[in-house]
């Protein structure tokens, strides 16, 4: 499993929310005590907590942080404030469905609680956020169990961005099969894309896999197709921030190119998808809102300008990969294969994002 030299990605400790600042890794290990809902919003927006599952857990606890000083309010006012803070948190990042999933699940739970006072409702919110946290760990274990057979002795695995333990509160999503196979003593190698422009693959995936003793090699993004052409990659496993009803999915920018290259070279391409990241209300990838981030993330590196002054830049944080390029979705309930619209709905129609 992931190295225990790192503190938990997210921890709820006696009413305090503690977040591992991922922007400081791998050089510094800094845990922040998040004081208020605005700080939760900034931590999500600024990628101090990142990865779709971790964002969902952070958002659930964020509502608890927002409401912990309001337990003396009349219950109706408490409920109104809860909705206001939920709407605010949802604006932090648009693409990862886990953010709205976590917030809306908390709101649904609050409506189900027949509480006469705010303190009782607050306690129920903390209980629900804790359940979401515990479920995330279990989802990761399930993905690891079902995805592990894809990793065989001597094979090469390519992954992109960070869908690892740092992106969740457990083993990760795309890395869960990797950790499970490593635990089982299978010898294999991992190629981790650096993942421009914020280098989550170099700073986070390569770091956490190295810490765990996994055989990992860091490559630049543009080397992935060449590595495939040399026969060094047997399977590609990536994470996702949102999966539409037809199987189109959004993931970190650069994923689409990997899927196209994998298809060209006949390499299986799998997506690790917990049920919390499935959005059956969105019919296809064209309807997924893509976050456009600050151009300085492209024109600057480590705070230093690398592009000419006044250079225009595009910085979409994600791209959408069509379902036709996907071999299967690794979920906590098994590997889902085409036709995805039918198989995903049949397996997960009862989940919150499918309502």
Query: Which residues are documented as binding site for substrate?
Result: 50-52, 93, 200, 251-252
241 among known catalytic residues:
yes
DSSP output for 251-304: EETTHHHHHHHHHHHT--EEEE--GGGEETTS-SGGGSPPPB--THHHHEETTE
Selection from 353, 325, 132, 349 nearest residue 238 by Cα:
325
DSSP 196: T
Rounded Cα–Cα distance for residues 107 and 111 (Å): 6
Rounded Cα–Cα distance for residues 249 and 255 (Å): 10
Residue 69 has a CB neighbour count (10 Å cut-off) of 10
Distances in Å between the alpha carbon of 5 and those of 8, 26, 77?
10, 12, 43
> In the chain, what is the greatest distance between 2 CA atoms, to the nearest angstrom?
66
Structure tokens at 13: 């400790």
Structure tokens at 59: 């958002």
Asked whether the beta carbons of 146 and 334 are under 8 A apart, the reply is yes
Q: Which residues are annotated as a binding site?
A: 50-52, 93, 200, 251-252
Rounded Cα–Cα distance for residues 344 and 90 (Å): 25
Catalytic residue chosen out of the listed positions 193, 234, 241, 319: 241
Residues annotated catalytic, as ranges:
241
């Amino acid at each position: 499993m992931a190295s225990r030299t790192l503190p938990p990605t997210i921890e709820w400790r006696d009413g305090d929310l503690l977040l591992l600042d991922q922007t400081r890794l791998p050089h510094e290990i800094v845990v922040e005590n998040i004081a208020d809902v605005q700080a939760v919003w900034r931590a999500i927006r600024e990628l101090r907590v990142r990865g779709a599952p971790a964002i969902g857990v952070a958002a659930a606890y964020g509502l608890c942080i927002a409401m912990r000083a309001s337990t003396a309010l009349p219950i109706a006012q408490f409920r109104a404030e809860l909705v206001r803070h939920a709407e605010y948190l949802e604006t932090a990042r648009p693409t990862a469905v886990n953010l709205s999933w976590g917030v809306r699940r908390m709101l649904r739970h609050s409506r189900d609680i027949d509480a006469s006072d705010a303190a009782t409702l607050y306690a129920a919110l903390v209980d629900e956020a804790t359940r979401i946290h515990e479920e995330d760990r279990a989802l990761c274990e399930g993905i690891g169990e079902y995805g592990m057979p894809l990793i065989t002795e001597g094979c090469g695995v390519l992954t992109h961005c960070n869908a690892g333990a740092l992106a969740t509160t457990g083993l990760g999503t795309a890395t869960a099969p990797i950790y499970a196979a490593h635990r089982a003593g299978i010898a294999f190698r991992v190629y981790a894309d650096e993942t421009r422009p914020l280098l989550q693959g170099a700073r986070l995936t390569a770091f956490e896999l190295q810490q765990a003793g996994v055989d990992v090699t860091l490559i630049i993004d543009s080397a992935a197709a060449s590595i495939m052409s040399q026969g060094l990659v047997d399977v590609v496993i990536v994470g996702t921030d949102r999966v539409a009803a037809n199987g189109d999915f959004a993931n970190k920018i650069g994923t689409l190119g990997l899927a196209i290259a994998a298809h060209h070279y006949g390499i299986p391409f799998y997506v690790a998808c917990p049920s919390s990241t499935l959005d059956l209300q969105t019919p296809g990838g064209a309807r997924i809102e893509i976050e456009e981030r600050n151009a300085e993330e492209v024109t600057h590196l480590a705070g230093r300008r690398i592009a000419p002054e006044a250079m225009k830049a595009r910085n979409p944080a994600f791209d959408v990969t069509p379902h036709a390029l996907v071999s299967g979705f690794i979920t906590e309930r098994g590997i889902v294969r085409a036709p995805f619209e039918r198989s995903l709905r049949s397996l997960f129609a009862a989940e919150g994002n499918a309502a």
